[in-house]
Amino acid sequence: MNHLINSISPYLLQHANNPVDWYLWGEEALAKARAENKPIFLSIGYAACHWCHVMAHESFEDPAIAAIMNQHFICIKVDREERPDLDGIYMQATQAMTGAGGWPMSVFLTPDLHPLYAGTYFPPTLRYNQPCFHDVLLGISNAWQNERGEIDRVGDQLVQHLQQTLSIEKQNAGLSQDNLDQITTAILEKYDWGYGGWGSAPKFPQPMTIEYLFHKSLSETTGSEKILNTALHALRAMARGGMYDMVGGGFARYSTDNFWRMPHFEKVAYNKEPLNLIRSME
C-alpha cells in the first residue's frame, strides 16, 4: 500500500495498492521532492476515465515500471474531481506543450513545480505513434541529471507563457456582441451537415456549444432559424446513432466514428443535458 490508502476519493483508492509509491498532493510530497532534488511525476485522472484505467493496469501495476518511477521521481496522484484547480493549471501547461489535452494527464515537474514535460496516456510499448512510458521515464530522468540548464530554461519559458496567457484572458474576460456574433459564425461555418456535430472522429457531443446555440437562437432577430436548426440537427444525429443510451438515458462521452454509431462506453453526467434540451424544443 502507498500514501493513497487513507484517501476518501474512489479514484485515488483505486491506486492505493499500486507498487508505485503514490503521494497525495500536499506539502509532504513537495517537501520530499525538494529535499531529494527529484522531479515530480504528476498523474491526474478521474474514476470514470477509461484510459486512466488502461494506463494504471499497463504501467502503474507493473512492478518494473513502478521501480523506475519510485527510484527517479516523486509520484503524485490527483483526482481532478477533487482538485479542479490543479487540473486546470496543468491542463493549460499540457496543451501549451503538446497542442492537446486529456486524461490521464501526465505531467513531469521540477521540485518548484515548473512543468518540464507533459502528455496524456503513454502506452507500455511503442504504439499509437506515442513513445512508451518506460522510455519517457528514463528520458526525463536522464535529462534531469545531465541537462538541467535546458530543463530550467524551457520550464521558465513555459511559466512565462502561461502567465501571459492568463493575463490576456483576464483582460478579455468580457465578451461584446461582436465577439458573440463571431463565435456564432465560426460555429455555424464548421458544422458538419453530413453527419452532425463538429470535427472528425472521435466526435464529442459538445453540449455547451449546443446549449449556446439554443440561447443564441432565442436572442436573435435574424438568422435564428438557422442557428436553431443547427443545434437540433446535432442532437438528432446523436440520438439516431449508438451514442444514445436507450436504457439509462443520456449520451456516451464520444463517438469513435464520424457517424455517431460506435460510442466510447463511458458516460458523464453533463451528457444527459442535450436530451433534455431536445425534448424541451419539440
Tens digit of each residue's pLDDT (9 = 90 or more) over 10-22 = 999 999 999 999 9
- Region of poorest pLDDT, from 160-164, 205-209, 214-218, 273-277: 273-277
Would the pLDDT of 176 be above 90?
no
- Which of 189, 206, 202, 188 lies closest to 259, judged by CA? 202
At residue 102 the predicted structure's pLDDT band, cuts being 50, 70 and 90, is confident
- Region of poorest pLDDT, from 53-62, 95-104, 164-173, 254-263: 164-173
What per-residue confidence (pLDDT) applies to 269?
55
What per-residue confidence (pLDDT) applies to 164?
65
Dihedral angle of Cα 87, 93, 95, 99, to the nearest 10 degrees? -160
What per-residue confidence (pLDDT) applies to 42?
98
At residue 142 the predicted structure's pLDDT band, cuts being 50, 70 and 90, is very high
Domain at 10-170, CATH from 3.40.50.10800, 3.40.50.880, 3.40.50.9100, 3.40.30.10: 3.40.30.10
Residue span(s) of the chain under CATH 3.40.30.10 come to: 10-170
What number is the average pLDDT over the span 159-177? 62
Radius of gyration in angstroms for the set of CA atoms belonging to the chain, rounded to a whole number? 22
